[in-house]
Amino acid sequence: MTDGTDESEMPAEPTQALRFGQARLARSTALVEDYVELIADLLASGGEARSTDVAKRLGVTHPTAIKSIARLKREGLATSKPYRGIFLTEAGHELAHKVRARHRLLVELLLAIGVPLEAAEADAEGMEHHASEATLAAAAGFLAARKHRPDE
Amino acid sequence: MTDGTDESEMPAEPTQALRFGQARLARSTALVEDYVELIADLLASGGEARSTDVAKRLGVTHPTAIKSIARLKREGLATSKPYRGIFLTEAGHELAHKVRARHRLLVELLLAIGVPLEAAEADAEGMEHHASEATLAAAAGFLAARKHRPDE
DNA sequence: ACTTAAATGTAGCCTTGGCTACATTTAACC
DNA sequence: GGTTAAATGTAGCCAAGGCTACATTTAAGT
Ligand SMILES: [Mn+2]
Ligand SMILES: [Mn+2]
Ligand SMILES: [Mn+2]
Ligand SMILES: [Mn+2]
């Protein structure tokens, strides 16, 4: 009884380590994704994205927002001249597009299984960063199938 | 055209700030939850939870694991005597139980919509920390309904 | 028993992402 | 146009969570 578990395949340790590592990586990119998505939203609706608005929307102080935006610039996702608004590079826009698609898909999925709207939006804001391509594809497929069988 | 969006209710800024704040909070508790769940697993299967095993399973170095375990102790979730294994307090066991339930439910949900097992496990490892009670309840309900209508 | 290896612990460094406090610049308002 | 308010920027602090390097203790081997 060296182990106790009764599985015959799967070594457990390395596999699980990879999963956790993947989750850690997703956590570290989550912030960048949220900023880019939000900035894109502000640009699309208001025409400009000011750091104060970004800070207010995220619920952080403006120095925090500015520091994070500096990271976006460092990673080639955004640009800004002093005392001017923030703009997205081509890479930034592409990322924003992907992130927004994930966000919407996750919300749709949650709504489809019966989660109330506000909870769906709040949970999706966190979960979106951990949804792999496989999960997104499955969600899309599930929702498409749902549309064909609309009741229930 | 001061705003562009066409919603009449919902101020947007404070609501969204709350969502982001909730996601940030979940990120900060994710680590604790993963440790507690993992330690409970090790205790259940092997009888003891050693820091080296915890580190290996998580894919971090052992000093990192020890430091995080110190946080668990500080928060009253675990105990340990020098050069001995790690144990969970009553609060630790309770949290582990809740976290494991969330984990399993999320995996089940992903499998149900057609996500392959490994992707489901990996994604759930990150998403589980962002699933509200409302989402968990909806997922449980959805899965229960599925069981009654098993095909397709 | 002694030697060696493994596990555990400690120290110190780094980055990220929060914050407050203060300085500067731009915009609003007489 | 001068004064005030708001936005923006900078500096510096802190905690969390990673890491490497080294010290100590326990367990294994012979
Ligand atoms: Mn998000
Ligand atoms: Mn989002
Ligand atoms: Mn997890
Ligand atoms: Mn888990």
Q: Which of A41, A58, A107 to mutate to test binding with chain B, by most B CBs within 10 Å of its CB? A: A58
Q: How confident is the model at residue B10 (pLDDT cuts 50, 70, 90)?
A: low
Which residues put CB within 7 Å of chain C, the nucleic strand?
A: A 28, 31-32, 59-61, 63-64, 67-68, 71, 82-83; B 24, 50-53, 62-63, 66-67, 80, 82-85
What is the domain-level CATH number for residue B76?
A: 1.10.10.10
Q: Does at least one atom of strand D sit less than 7 Å from the CB of A83?
A: yes
Strand C, nucleotides < 7 Å from a protein CB: these are 7-12, 16-21, 25-26
- CATH number for the domain harbouring residue B125: 1.10.60.10
Residue A148 predicted with pLDDT over 90? no
The reply to whether A86 and A107 lie within a common domain is no
Residue range A76-94, pLDDT digits in tens: 999 999 999 999 999 999 9
pTM of the model: 0.91
Closest alpha carbon to C1' of D25, residue = B83
- pLDDT tens readout for residues A101-121: 999 999 999 999 999 999 999
Is A117 in the same domain as A52? no
Whether CB of A58 is under 7 Å from strand D: the answer is: no
Q: Are residues A86 and A108 in the same domain?
A: no
Q: Do A86 and A103 belong together in one domain?
A: no
Mean pLDDT of chain A: 92
Cα(B128)–Cα(B106) distance, integer angstroms? 6
Whether the CB-CB separation of B35 and B29 falls below 8 Å is answered with no
Identify the DSSP state of B80.
E
Q: Mean of the per-residue pLDDT values for chain B?
A: 92
- What's the total number of domains in chain A? 2
DSSP chain A: --S----SS--SHHHHHHHHHHHHHHHHHHHHHHHHHHHHHHHHHHS-B-HHHHHHHHTS-HHHHHHHHHHHHHTTSEEE-TTS-EEE-HHHHHHHHHHHHHHHHHHHHHHHTT--HHHHHHHHHHHGGG--HHHHHHHHHHHHHHHHS---
Asked if B135 lies within 8 A of A110 by C-beta distance, the reply is yes
**pLDDT > 80? residue A151:** no
Judged against a pLDDT cut of 70, whether residue A6 lies above it is answered with no
Indicate if the pLDDT at residue B13 is higher than 90.
no
- pLDDT at residue A62 above 50? yes
The range of the structural domain enclosing residue B123 comes to: 94-147
Span B21-75, pLDDT tens digits: 999 999 999 999 999 999 999 999 988 999 999 999 999 999 999 999 999 999 9
